[in-house]
Amino acid sequence: MTMDAAASGPSSSEGGNGSGEETLVQAGPAGPGREKFVAPSLRSRHVYLRPLTAQDYPHLQGAEMGTELMFRWRLRGATPSPEQWVQMVWHQVLAQFMVVGQVRNKPLGLVSVYRANFQDGYAYLSAARLEPRKPSPLMTLGVSLFVDYVFACWDFRKLYMEVPEFNLPQFASGLGRYFELEGRLRDHFYFDGRYWDQLTLAIYREVLQREGLRLDRGRRSAIA
């Protein structure tokens, strides 16, 4: 896959919002009362976000069909055709980025916001780590960055995540702090001889503004 060849630091303007402007001020947490234009940042100290391109497809498809992601994520064991897979990748997507490490430009995962409901002020968030077996703090930082970006660009009240219950242990410590459990479909998924619940988690804008600070102090200078 094609990746940015040059290592870049948090101060780089490359890959921001694509404008190439070097004078843009990076945004803090989205919130009311701003008096100046502040562009949402696609970079934090350790990771950055870049839009998904066709050059990412082989790597992404390989991870999705060659790792535990095949069962933990949307395919759930199925093998769609290459054409169907591409359609699925972009189905109902509002914004989608690869999460990439700052030091080695290593793709870490994919984050998406999809099925947006502008009338009622919510959308759905998806996040998939390309190496799902290994616990990774970097992907979490990438998700935090992306959620900030989404709340800066659209006036959503909250973002839902639909999570099979077998995936929750990977990030359960955020429950009740960064996200809330708002729904449960009992015995919704079949996998490996049993049925599993589907959980609907919600990330609230105001909670992110309050608690998200803990996850990204390097990016927000207001933090003591």
Nearer to other proteins, 205 or 219 (CB): 219
**Minimum CB–partner distance for residue 139 and other proteins (Å):** 6
Burial of residue 77 (CB within 10 Å: 0-12, 13-18, 19+) is exposed
**Minimum CB–partner distance for residue 12 and other proteins (Å):** 16
State how far the Cα of 4 lies from the Cα of 73, in Å rounded to an integer. Answer: 27
List Cβ neighbours of 185 (8 Å cut-off, separation of 6 or more). 197, 198, 200
Q: Which residues bind other proteins (CB under 8 A)?
A: 45-46, 101, 103-104, 106, 108, 129, 134-141, 144, 169-174, 178, 214-218
Burial of residue 145 (CB within 10 Å: 0-12, 13-18, 19+) is buried
**Minimum CB–partner distance for residue 222 and other proteins (Å):** 13
State how far the Cα of 143 lies from the Cα of 170, in Å rounded to an integer. Answer: 14
**Minimum CB–partner distance for residue 214 and other proteins (Å):** 6
State how far the Cα of 14 lies from the Cα of 1, in Å rounded to an integer. Answer: 19
**Minimum CB–partner distance for residue 185 and other proteins (Å):** 23
Give, for 152, the enclosing helix (H) or strand (E).
helix 137-153
**Minimum CB–partner distance for residue 177 and other proteins (Å):** 8
Phi-psi region of 28 (alpha: psi -120 to 50; beta: other; left: phi over 0): beta
Nearer to other proteins, 25 or 103 (CB): 103
Nearer to other proteins, 97 or 178 (CB): 178
Nearer to other proteins, 17 or 105 (CB): 105
Within 13 A of 98's CA, how many CA atoms are on the CB side? 25
Nearer to other proteins, 91 or 214 (CB): 214
Nearer to other proteins, 116 or 201 (CB): 201
**Minimum CB–partner distance for residue 188 and other proteins (Å):** 22
Nearer to other proteins, 50 or 129 (CB): 129
Q: How far is CA 173 from CA 51, 59, 168, 207, 211, in A?
A: 28, 29, 9, 15, 13
Retrieve residue 109's tokens.
Answer: 């995962």
